[in-house]
Every structure is written in structure tokens, then in C-alpha cells.
Amino acid sequence: MGVRSDTTFLIVMKHTVFSLSVDDGHPLDMRLAELLHKRGIPASFHVPIHNIEGAPVLLPAEIRELATNFEIGSHTLDHRFLAKLDMHEALRQITEGKLALQDILGKSVQGFCYPGGKYRPIHCGMVRAAGFRYARTTQNLRLDAGRQPLELPTSLQFYPHTRRVLLRNFLSQSAWKERWPLCELVLQDGDWLDRLRHLLAYALREGGIFHLWCHTLDIERLNLWQILDDFLMEVSDWIPPERRVNNLQLVARYCEGLPPPVSLR
Ligand SMILES: [Zn+2]
């Protein structure tokens, strides 16, 4: 059962916002950008300059092309997990990643994403000091913009995780009280796609920020392009263009001053 059949009974659409983040700056991001452009869906691409894990990254010309339609955020200089680095190297990864991206784009880069979601509170301070306006985490099962823009949470990753992995992830991250209702909801479904669709249906019914994130290399390896396109079509069917935002717009509208949309019911 998909979103369409779940939500046809809706009479009043709550204030639901959609945001998409794409991590790692893989060259396949260009394929996703084409698909998003076709569906009229904005996104934030969080791009490292190199990837220490060996995966290829976008060329400077490709990053500039992507920036014509999408937000480009930083993902450290070399895709390093900050929590594993000493202070000096963590700061270098944050600041030099930003400067290198700004040199490529010729404009300020305001968004950051913690590689692997591995960071400590001190890194939030470093990110702020480097001049970033927000930083996205990998915390999931949220339909709000979090408590502060340097720890922006998400709803779900576009990835066929098992229930066991979701539960382990739930327990290993904080904000249990805020996340438990959605955890309970997604654990009801055995199939990952049903989980994703039911969570979207819930967000449409109750209002909130549906923040999806993905890696295009996963989409390619698992042959999920058609499934992703179908899901994005459902998003564009249900959420009007003015409520589809990139991460920077999300923070500007819902983190810094304005209340989150769940309170606008
Ligand atoms: Zn990453």
C-alpha cells in the first residue's frame, strides 16, 4: 500500500515541508540532479573535496553546474569522521573544506554535514566559528528542525535498512523521547519502502518536516533509481512547490525565529 492509497482520505492537508540532502559528492549526484530538476524538487548536496575512502567525487565544473539549481554544502575537506580526529585536524577539515568549496563556487558556503554523523559538541562550535549557518546530522526519525541549526536532524535515509539496524540506530543516538513515536511507527513495517511511505503519509497527516537523505552510490549499487523516482513523484504530488526546500531554506524558515510547521496546525 503506497502513499496515494493511504492519503486519499485526507481532507485538510497539514503544513508539511519536504527537504532532501545528498551526501558525499559522488559523480552520480549529477544523475540525481537531473531527476530532481524534472520533478521540481530542490536539494542540498553536501560535498567533500576528496574522499579518503577512495570513492570518486564531483569535478569542480560539475559542482558549479550543480550549484545553478541546488544548494552546495560542505562535508569536510576529505570526508573525515570528526570524532576520530585530533582538534587541529578536525578544525582543518572543517575550515579548509569550506574554503576550497568557496573557491570552486566563487560564493559563500553556509551549510555543513558531519561525515558519518560522527561528531562531538566541540565540533558544533568549530563549525559555527568557521562561519557555517547550519550543520546536518544523521539523526533520523524526526519531523522537526531540531533544537538548534548546528544539529539539524533528519527523518529517514533512502536505504533498505533492516528493522534491527533502525532499532540499533535509535538506541545509539540521543533524543529518544522525540524519536520514539516515529520509531514505533516505522518498526511496524517489515518492508523498508512501506516504512518510508507510511512515514510520509504520517507527515502529511500530522504536519512537519519530512527530511530525506541519501547517497547516490547506494542508489546505483542497489538499483534503486526507479524506486527513488517513483517516491519523488509521490512527494511532488502531495507537497506543493513552496513547501519543498533545501536545507538552508529549511533552517532559515524553521530554525531561526519561525516555529516549526508542526506548531502551525
Ligand atoms: Zn558522507
Residue 45 CA, ligand 1 centroid: distance in Å: 11
Give me the pLDDT at residue 208, please: 93
Distance CA 200, CA 208 (A): 10
Grid coordinates belonging to 103: 573557491
Q: What is the pLDDT of residues 194-245, one digit of tens each?
A: 999 999 999 999 999 999 999 999 999 999 999 999 999 999 999 999 999 9
Phi, psi of 2 (to 5 degrees): -100, -175
Give me the pLDDT at residue 190, please: 87
Residue 261 scores a pLDDT above 60 = no
The set of residues, in sequence order, having a beta carbon less than 8 Å from that of 177 and lying 6+ positions away, is: none
Residue 48 CA, ligand 1 centroid: distance in Å: 8
The distance of Cα 191 from the centroid of its chain, to the nearest Å, equals 21
Which of 7-16, 81-90, 123-132, 251-260 has the lowest average pLDDT?
7-16
Residue 120 scores a pLDDT above 70 = yes
Residue 16 CA, ligand 1 centroid: distance in Å: 27
CA atoms within 13 A on the CB side of 166: 26
Residue 4 scores a pLDDT above 60 = no
Residue 258 scores a pLDDT above 60 = no
Cβ–Cβ under 8 Å, residues 197 and 212: no
- Which band of pLDDT confidence, cut at 50, 70 and 90, is reported for residue 175? confident
CB-CB neighbours of 100 under 10 Å: 18
CB-CB neighbours of 87 under 10 Å: 11
- Write the burial class of residue 9 (CB in 10 Å: 0-12 exposed, 13-18 middle, 19+ buried): exposed
Give me the pLDDT at residue 51, please: 97
Residues β-bridged to residue 156: 212
Give me the pLDDT at residue 263, please: 37
Give me the pLDDT at residue 135, please: 97
Identify each DSSP E strand in 48-110 by its residue range: 71-74
- Which band of pLDDT confidence, cut at 50, 70 and 90, is reported for residue 8? very low
Of residues 10 and 225, more confidence is placed in 225
Residue 128 CA, ligand 1 centroid: distance in Å: 19
Of residues 258 and 35, more confidence is placed in 35
Residue 59 CA, ligand 1 centroid: distance in Å: 17
Three-class secondary structure of residue 48 per DSSP? coil
Give me the pLDDT at residue 178, please: 86
Of residues 231 and 167, more confidence is placed in 231
Task: Give the DSSP letter string of 224-238.
Answer: -HHHHHHHHHHHHHH
Distance CA 213, CA 117 (A): 12
- The C-alpha angle with vertex 61 and arms to 60 and 64, in degrees rounded to 5, equals 90
Average pLDDT over residues 138-159: 93
Distance CA 25, CA 175 (A): 29
Residue 21 CA, ligand 1 centroid: distance in Å: 11
Ordered by where they begin, the domains of the chain are: 3-264 (3.20.20.370)
Give me the pLDDT at residue 118, please: 95
DSSP conformational letter for 107: S
Neighbours of ion ligand 1 (CB under 5 A): 23-24, 115
Task: Please state whether the predicted TM-score (pTM) of the whole model is above 0.85.
Answer: yes
Among the residues of 191-258, which ranges form H helices?
Answer: 192-206, 216-221, 225-238, 247-254
Residue 11 CA, ligand 1 centroid: distance in Å: 39
Average pLDDT over residues 119-123: 96
